[in-house]
A and B are shown apart, each in its own frame.
Chain A
Amino acid sequence: MSTYVKPYDRRSRPRRVASNTCLVIAVFLLLLPLLWGIGTALKPEADAFDNKLSSFAYATEFGNFVTAWNYGPFGRFLVNGLIVAAGGTALTVSTSLLAGYGFARLHFRGREKLFFFYVATLVVPQQVLVVPMFFMMRDFGWINSYQGLIIPWAFSAFGVFLMRQFFRSIPLELEDAAKVDGAGHLMTFWRVMVPMVVPAIGVLGLFTFIAYWNSFLWPLILVNSRSLATVPLGLQFFETQQGYQWNLLMAGGTISLLPGLILAVVLQRYLSRGISLSGLGGR
């Protein structure tokens, strides 16, 4: 008879049931605000504050999503948000890949000092930069522009840090083999190293995309035209003199959750590995 018992089998049946019940309740409470928002999105406007569960039974106003899409126009905010988030992600990931490889694998004087300096700037809150950045955007003529929304935040030290950690965890032998075969740095980088850090690209891509997509303060400062508003900014336009149009607002809010959710489901297997490497320096 085996004496080894798996940890999760040791719990008695009632305890397992209790634990699972707690879990179901926790998940329900966690998702309740989101479900409430989606439910309200499907109600007629007059019922937005009706809390009786029965009011959700008749929540079938799928037309709200169409109205929200055209109101604002929310479809436009969504497209703007996607352009900004995709552009910002592409720029951040590509420059971080290059610099991360440089810091991880190329030898040059002052490398560690320069890297330390990069990492130290992680402490700088974005808000310290926004006032001069606003002047800079004015001088560049980038107020109310995509490039003004994208470029200033695409050179974060975080991406460089994450990529360096990943590159350092790849065995040196692999790179040396490529060099023996006569590949130069660029070739080695592109053909050997980049394919090895696809999980890192996934993680950095996800976090960068979400950061751009959810960003509020900077668009609020930079953009004052509806035609360039991103989603969080656009949600503000559902407020009229009579207050918010709650059902439309919730419909817009629901739509705004989708890109993040889709990306998370697609990239979830990279998530914990990426977090453990960035968080713990490769432990």
Chain B
Amino acid sequence: MSATVVPAATSPAQPLSLSRPRRRKRRDGRTAFFFLLPNAVGFLVFTLTPLVASLVLSLFVWPLTGKSSFVGFGNYVDLFSKDPSFRAAIVNTLYYVAAYVPLNVAVALGVALWLKGYSRSRRILRVIFFVPVLTPLVADAVVWSLILTTRNGLVDSVIHAIFGVQGPEWLSAPQWAMPSIIIVAVWQGFGYNMLLFTAGLHAIPETFYDAARIDGASRWRTFRSVTVPLLSPSLFFGIVLTVITSFQVFDLVYVLTDGGPGTSSTTIVYWLFEKGFNDYAMGYASAIAWVLFLIVIVITAVQMRLQRRWVFYES
């Protein structure tokens, strides 16, 4: 892990700690306790407790005020048998993830390859391409809703000027609401992966490319056989994180479409918010939260499994 800096001879602290007296080691324990304490207390109170509490809540009918009652897996049964909006939310969220993640990674990788290098202009360009990541999604959403407005919006005006036809109703047609959200999300979000991939690309020794050139490899071949395998740890990390965060899509939906029209852009978290903080069905909302959590866990675990197939770690 820290192989870049720590000299091989002193590898993982083991030889050093052998030479230390035993008392020293025990004292570390007490010191460590105080170093970890501030974070650990907060972590216990504000991460672990609510995590367990939400699982417990999900087994109850729990209104904001008034009596709660234990229903076992009743909320989960209702979710899947009586709640068509929830089913729509799952389908929409999967649609979002399936489209957003590949688009994000492709754009990020494309720009990273385009702009790799250390020259001043490239460095500045990378910061420029990173700018949308820094903008609040809510602010982006309002700008884009102006741009995507039917007929008077910028996009429709351009389409009309070039093709002479009326563009679709981007945000109010059921089949276009989700693609519109995805476009805005990719525009806003690809910058992080772009920087991640750039760092990965810069870590690939130039000699590999020289060797490929001497062997007469085409650009595509070089990309497939040199760049992708050597970049695969970054690609893997970026994809795993992007999948996790993309399942949580909410801000754009809330501002751009309100989950509509109908339920055509209702996502899991949007429905969680509706149930929990509009209907105040807190137990039900917790069940939605845990379904989301389980989906994320399963998909992340599958990716961890599959990583052996394609991720290449040196040494």
Contact = CB atoms under 8 A, between A and B. Distances in A.
Interface stretch (B70-78, B79-87, B162-170, B271-279): B271-279
Contacts of A261: 131, 134
Given A33-B147, A280-B233, A23 B125 contact: yes
A169 B139 contact: no
Interface string A102-143: 110011110100000010011111111111111110000000
Contact of A124 (B51, B233, B251, B282): B51
A131 B282 contact: yes
B43 A118 contact: yes
B293 A244 contact: no
A217 B39 contact: no
B207 interface: no
Contacts of B127: 264-265, 268, 271
A276 B203 contact: yes
A136 to B, nearest CB: 7
Contacts of B297: 123
A36 B221 CA distance: 41
A18 interface: no
Contact of B50 (A122, A132, A282): A132
A45 B254 CA distance: 24
Contact of B238 (A26, A94, A279): A279
B234 A279 contact: yes
Interface residues of B, number: 98
Chain A interface, >50% SS class:
helix
Contacts of A80: none
B223 interface: no
Contacts of B39: 95-96, 98-99, 155, 160
Contacts of A84: none
Interface in B7-36: 7, 10, 13, 16-17, 25, 28-29, 31-33, 35-36
Interface in B117-139: 117, 123, 125-139
A68 interface: no
Given A36-B143, A126-B248, A127-B269, A132 B43 contact: no
B128 A155 contact: no
B6 A214 contact: no
Nearest to A273: B199
B142 A250 contact: yes
Contact of B125 (A27, A33, A135, A210): A27
Interface residues of A, number: 97
A17 B77 CA distance: 61
Nearest to A158: B241
B164 to A, nearest CB: 16
A271 B130 contact: yes
B137 A232 contact: yes
A25 interface: no
B250 A244 contact: no
Contact of A132 (B17, B49, B247): B49
B302 interface: no
Interface in B242-291: 244, 247-248, 250-251, 254, 269, 272-273, 276-277, 282, 285-286, 289-290
A30 B183 CA distance: 12
Nearest to B16: A172
A221 interface: yes
28 contacts: A27-B125, A30-B128, A33-B187, A49-B153, A51-B153, A98-B36, A99-B39, A101-B35, A111-B32, A124-B47, A125-B292, A126-B248, A128-B51, A130-B289, A172-B10, A189-B35, A216-B251, A217-B251, A221-B273, A221-B277, A235-B139, A250-B143, A250-B146, A256-B136, A280-B200, A282-B3, A283-B200, A283-B203
Given A165-B2, A169-B5, A264-B130, 4 more contacts: A107-B25, A127-B250, A213-B136, A257-B136
Interface of A: 7-8, 23, 26-27, 30-31, 33-34, 36-37, 40, 48-49, 51, 94-96, 98-99, 101-103, 106-109, 111, 118, 121-136, 151-155, 157, 160, 165, 168-173, 176, 185, 189, 210, 213-214, 216-217, 220-221, 231-232, 235-236, 244, 246, 249-250, 252-253, 256-257, 260-261, 263-265, 268, 271-273, 275-276, 279-283
Interface of B: 1-7, 10, 13, 16-17, 25, 28-29, 31-33, 35-36, 38-40, 42-43, 46-51, 53-54, 57, 111, 114, 117, 123, 125-140, 142-144, 146-147, 149, 152-154, 157, 187, 192, 195-196, 198-200, 202-203, 209, 233-234, 237-238, 244, 247-248, 250-251, 254, 269, 272-273, 276-277, 282, 285-286, 289-290, 292-293, 296-297, 300
